[in-house]
């Protein structure tokens, strides 16, 4: 088991874990190195966006029948990264592959699946305003490509709220989870030109370098030079399952942080059984302090439940 290997190699220095096991201290060094690559001029950059997206794409390629999930295959399988939905992350794939090689040369075995999800949470935390998502180590890597057809497109037949919600529900997520996780588009930019006039690098909210609730407002009433995705607009409609949750997060950072961190943690473990993940090492404390030093427990009481 990977976490046993890590604990064996590095037992001299460790970060205390609330779960009774120690996170090897080199993960804090890795977090610092990754974070320095995710921040530019005080805002999270394109590489941070790709890290968040890469973590989602690796985890979401899963079905109960075919398997897959957060297993590192997006980094390890040469075919999976060439799929249409992944091909514009080739540069980040190369970046993370090179980083993993460097880290392994210094620290020993570093799992691809763990590094993908760890980097995603470092990226979220590096964005000004980004919350701290529970981050664990211990996944088993697989070089078998995840199942195809699991990612809804931003436009077209699979961009309806019904199609999106059905897909997420098949993986154990609720309408509230979908609305919360869509909020990561607060730092989103289009990597290529899209339908409906969205240009390359077109942003989905007015502050794409900051993690904030601007996205929820801008999806409904986009200001100049903001281009919401069709899928996001479909999920934002008032009076619908996802839409009511979506609109509840407008100007309510506390509620969104709580919902996002819960859903994002579970997303990082898609395809991993609860019994198996119960033995993982908690490395949340290795994440960066955060540009805003914001912690979920400091959210206003009236923002934690709605």
| One domain, residues 142 and 276 | yes
d(Cα 238, Cα 8) in Å, to the nearest integer? 52
Name the DSSP letter for residue 200: T
pLDDT at 117: 99
pLDDT at 233: 96
| One domain, residues 215 and 279 | no
| One domain, residues 26 and 140 | yes
Give yes or no for a contact between 231 and 155, defined as CB atoms under 8 angstroms apart: yes
| One domain, residues 65 and 183 | no
Q: How far is CA 283 from CA 88, 97, 260, in A?
A: 29, 21, 18
Q: What tens-digit pLDDT sequence spans the chain (306 residues)?
A: 333 333 323 333 455 444 447 999 999 999 999 999 999 999 999 999 999 999 999 999 999 999 999 999 999 999 999 999 998 999 999 999 999 999 999 999 999 999 999 999 999 999 999 999 999 999 999 999 999 999 887 767 788 999 999 999 999 999 999 999 999 999 998 765 566 677 787 899 999 999 999 999 999 999 999 999 999 999 999 999 999 999 999 999 999 999 999 999 999 999 999 999 999 999 999 999 976 444 333 343 334 333
| One domain, residues 225 and 118 | no
d(Cα 97, Cα 91) in Å, to the nearest integer? 10
| One domain, residues 30 and 144 | yes
Task: Give domain status of residue 10, yes or no.
Answer: no
Give yes or no for a contact between 137 and 118, defined as CB atoms under 8 angstroms apart: yes
pLDDT at 19: 43
Determine the structural domain holding residue 98 and report its residue range: 21-150+267-289
In degrees and rounded to multiples of 5, residue 114 shows phi and psi of -65, -45
Tokens of 125: 């935390």
Tokens of 144: 């078998």
Per-position b or e across 123-157, b if 16+ CB within 10 A of its CB: bbbbbbbbbbbbbbbbbebbeebbeeebbbbbeee
Give yes or no for a contact between 139 and 36, defined as CB atoms under 8 angstroms apart: no
Tokens of 231: 């899928």
Q: Provide the number of structural domains found in the chain.
A: 2
| One domain, residues 115 and 172 | no
CA torsion sign for 114, 116, 120, 122 is positive
pLDDT at 154: 75
| One domain, residues 75 and 174 | no
73 labeled part of a ligand binding site: yes
Task: Give domain status of residue 282, yes or no.
Answer: yes
d(Cα 114, Cα 2) in Å, to the nearest integer? 10
Extended strands (E) in 171-290: 281-282
185 labeled part of a ligand binding site: yes
Tokens of 4: 């046993």
97 labeled part of a ligand binding site: no
d(Cα 63, Cα 203) in Å, to the nearest integer? 31
| One domain, residues 135 and 272 | yes
201 labeled part of a ligand binding site: no
Catalytic residue positions, numbered? 57
93 labeled part of a ligand binding site: no
Q: How many residues does the chain have?
A: 306
Task: Give domain status of residue 97, yes or no.
Answer: yes
d(Cα 31, Cα 14) in Å, to the nearest integer? 14
33 labeled part of a ligand binding site: no
Name the DSSP letter for residue 57: H
| One domain, residues 69 and 101 | yes
pLDDT at 196: 64
| One domain, residues 274 and 132 | yes
- Listed residue (6, 8, 263, 278) closest to 115, CA to CA: 6
pTM: 0.88
């Amino acid at each position: 088991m990977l976490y046993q290997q890590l604990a064996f190699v590095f037992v001299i220095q460790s970060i205390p874990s609330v779960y009774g096991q120690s996170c090897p201290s080199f993960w804090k060094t890795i977090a610092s190195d990754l974070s320095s690559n995710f921040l530019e001029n005080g805002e999270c950059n394109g590489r941070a966006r790709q890290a968040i997206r890469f973590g989602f794409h690796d985890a979401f390629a899963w079905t109960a029948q075919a398997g897959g999930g957060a297993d590192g295959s997006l980094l390890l399988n040469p075919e999976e990264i060439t799929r249409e939905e992944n091909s514009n992350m080739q540069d980040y794939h190369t970046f993370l592959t090179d980083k993993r090689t460097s880290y392994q040369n210094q620290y020993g075995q570093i799992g691809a699946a763990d590094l993908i999800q760890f980097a995603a949470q470092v990226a979220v935390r590096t964005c000004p305003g980004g919350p701290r998502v529970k981050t664990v180590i211990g996944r088993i890597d697989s070089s078998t490509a995840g199942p195809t057809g699991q990612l809804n497109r931003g436009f077209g037949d699979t961009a309806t709220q019904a199609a999106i919600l059905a897909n997420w529900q098949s993986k154990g997520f609720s309408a509230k989870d979908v609305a919360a996780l869509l909020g990561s588009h607060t730092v989103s930019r289009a990597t290529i030109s899209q339908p409906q006039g969205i240009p390359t690098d077109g942003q989905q909210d007015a502050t794409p370098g900051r993690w904030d609730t601007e996205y929820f407002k801008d999806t409904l009433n986009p200001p100049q030079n903001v281009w919401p995705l069709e899928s996001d607009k479909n999920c934002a409609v008032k009076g619908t399952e996802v839409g009511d949750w979506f609109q509840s997060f407008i100007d309510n950072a506390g509620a969104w942080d709580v919902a996002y961190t819960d859903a994002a943690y579970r997303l990082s473990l898609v395809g991993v059984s609860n019994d198996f993940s119960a033995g993982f090492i908690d490395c949340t404390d290795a994440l960066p302090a955060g540009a805003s030093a914001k912690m979920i427990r400091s959210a206003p009481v009236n923002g934690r439940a709605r």
